[in-house]
Chain A
Amino acid sequence: MKDRRGVAIVVVLFFAFSIAIILFFMASSNTNLAYQNKQTLYQMQAYYLAHSGMQHAKLQLRLLPKETYEFFAKNGTGNPYADIDSSNYPPTAMGVFSKNNAGYDLFKTNKAPDEKFPYGGRYYIEKLELLGSHDRMKMVQDGYRVVVKANVDGGRGKTFEEEISEELIVSRFTGGIK
């Protein structure tokens, strides 16, 4: 008969090792889920900030089509919409990640003041360029490309970024006078 002493310890170790591996993967899978949910939320916040910036740019294009066109017509260089930056104006300035925001709650009285935000973040217009202008009628149409960037401060040095770009056509009434 062969000597089988010591086999038991090998079997037990193998068994323990297998269980340890299963537990490790289960724990890490749960940790990943928590991390992914957090990532999704911050990235989604950056997405809405970027669209907020795009709407802000569209609003300015709608309100000031003549002034915007003239900037390019007079060989203006740089970004004429550099001023559209949420951090420039107190009503839109979200600031940076702050632990003071932790108590923010819309359901509790005085826990969500008008000037405060639950997040830190910013949107700004990265680039505005005139692609072309169709000016053979009283109603001129200008084509623009707008690039908007947004970032959200996730705390602990983490920043979540989003960039969107759109091409727009803006009508500009000239009354036939150029």
Chain B
Amino acid sequence: MYRNRNRQGITFVEVILAFLILGVIFLPIFFFLTGAVKDTEKFYTETTAISRAKFIMDSMMFQIPWWAIKDGNPCGFTSYNSVSKKTVTGVSSLLRRAVPKMFGDGCTTGNPEEFKGDGLFVCRKGFQYRARAKVVDLDYDSTSANPVVFSIPIPGTPDRHEFQINQLVSKRDDKFNLIKKIIVQVKWSNSKNKDPDSDPQARSIFLVGFKSDLEG
């Protein structure tokens, strides 16, 4: 019987070799894709942090009354107006709703009318974020060496109308104050279910604003 010696199939060795070559090609691709997924999560956490910092800063700059924000690190929030010596109902309900949404767990104090600008929240994917706001009163006494001055030139003369803060406002909470410096920090861990406080690789973003007393 005649045998065709010129067979055209694929040998087992050739198949193994092909798989080996494919493996060599696809291994870096696999690593790249895994890295890309991790990067996507990294950008997701960063976006969530930015969005939360914006929410906090918007609320503090434009929603919460100037007098209701107390200086400190973390800052405080109160619905008790020290000038009228009353708890303001509208501000009280605003703070009760807004502050826990801004900072998450841990922002409450023993007093239901007072909150602190500090807390921990967890996103839907399980990443943990810590948010904190620091407020510094730029009041006359603490900045008296170089205070913010309010001045306007007098036309036709080299002189200016110049006023110090203590000439323009009466003391409130023992301070002559018109401007507060607000710094918001959101810190997060890129590892799921890990408190950023215990993660040396934790990342942070900041926002800075100056809130003026437009209500007095």
Residue positions of A touching B, CB distance < 8 A: 16, 19, 23, 26-27, 30, 33-34, 37, 40-41, 44-45, 48-49, 51-52, 55-56, 58-60, 62-64, 67-68, 70-71, 74-78, 80-81, 83, 86, 89-92, 94, 104-107, 112, 114, 117-119, 121, 123
Contact = CB atoms under 8 A, between A and B. Distances in A.
Nearest to A75: B155
Interface of B: 25, 29, 32-33, 36, 39-40, 43, 46-47, 50, 54, 57, 61-62, 73-74, 130, 132, 134, 136, 138, 143, 145-156, 161, 163, 168-169, 178-179, 181, 183, 185, 187, 197, 204-214
Please classify the interface of chain B as helix (H, G, I), strand (E, B), loop, or mixed, using the class held by over half of its residues: mixed
B143 to A, nearest CB: 5
A63 B168 contact: yes
Given A89-B146, A119-B206, A76 B197 contact: no
Given A91-B147, A107-B130, A112-B73, A48 B155 contact: no
A86 B210 contact: yes
A117 B206 CA distance: 9
A89 B132 CA distance: 26
Q: Which 3 A-B pairs have the closest CB atoms?
A: A76-B155, A52-B210, A118-B206
A48 B207 contact: yes
A86 B89 CA distance: 35
Nearest to A45: B207
B57 A48 contact: yes
8 contacts: A26-B33, A27-B36, A33-B43, A51-B209, A59-B150, A91-B146, A106-B74, A112-B134
Nearest to B151: A83
B152 A68 contact: yes
B152 A64 contact: yes
Nearest to B157: A74
B38 to A, nearest CB: 10
Contacts of B33: 26
B61 to A, nearest CB: 6
A16 B25 CA distance: 9
Given A37-B46, A64-B161, A105 B204 contact: yes
A23 B208 contact: no
B209 A30 contact: no
Given A56-B179, A75-B155, A106-B73, A30 B210 contact: no
A71 B155 CA distance: 6
B150 A49 contact: no
Contacts of A118: 183, 185, 206, 208
Contacts of A52: 61, 209-212
Nearest to A94: B208
Contact of B134 (A63, A106, A121): A106
A41 B152 contact: no
A63 B150 CA distance: 9
A60 B150 contact: yes
